[in-house]
Copies of this chain bind each other. A is one copy, B any other.
């Protein structure tokens, strides 16, 4: 129903954050949404850090945001906040790149001591970019995310919590979630 951009801000090529997002993307697709994944690490570093707003890859990323109705923002927690990689993308987007959009903030980290980074660090930045609706986010412990591609991505309790958060996001976008809730 809705066009969703699903952004991973992890610098790692074998990122648990990214694996979590791709798992969530599947659920959103089953609910009828069109999901476009974006790994910030696939964009050219010199364009991100040099503030090259006119670079084709930055222009393309900006258009992905412009077209999206919903945006998932996932980041590892480093030094009590979002990754510098994620922020370097947000910095080259227009000030109000999230205007009118529904946003789902997600974070991963090694300890529950980092949980508040979503609400105290990430949300104020997303809010400054004009987001119309930032739905309640979710923090997942690194050790709860399976590292390889085998088996389930999350243990049952963490999976259920993430499904609930995903469905609130989907509902805020006007998606159908009820009949598929059991299918997750």
A72 contacts partner chain B, Cβ-Cβ < 8 Å: no
Our pick among B46, B113, B129 for the contact of A45 (Cβ within 8 Å) is: B46
Copies of this chain per assembly: 4
Q: In the complex, how many residues of chain A place their beta carbon closer than 8 angstroms to a beta carbon of chain B? A: 49
B residues within 8 A CB of A1? none
Residue of B nearest to A40 (CB): B49
Which residue of A11, A130, A168 has the most chain B CB atoms within 10 A of its CB atom? A11
A164 contacts partner chain B, Cβ-Cβ < 8 Å: no
CB distance from A135 to the nearest CB of B (A): 7
Q: List 17 contacting pairs A-B, 8 Å CB cutoff, sorted by A.
A: A41-B50, A45-B49, A46-B46, A49-B84, A78-B90, A81-B121, A81-B125, A84-B90, A87-B88, A113-B115, A116-B116, A116-B120, A119-B124, A119-B127, A120-B124, A123-B124, A133-B135
Within 120-155 of A, Cβ neighbours of B (below 8 Å) are at: 120-121, 123-125, 127-136
B residues within 8 A CB of A91? 11, 78-79, 83-85
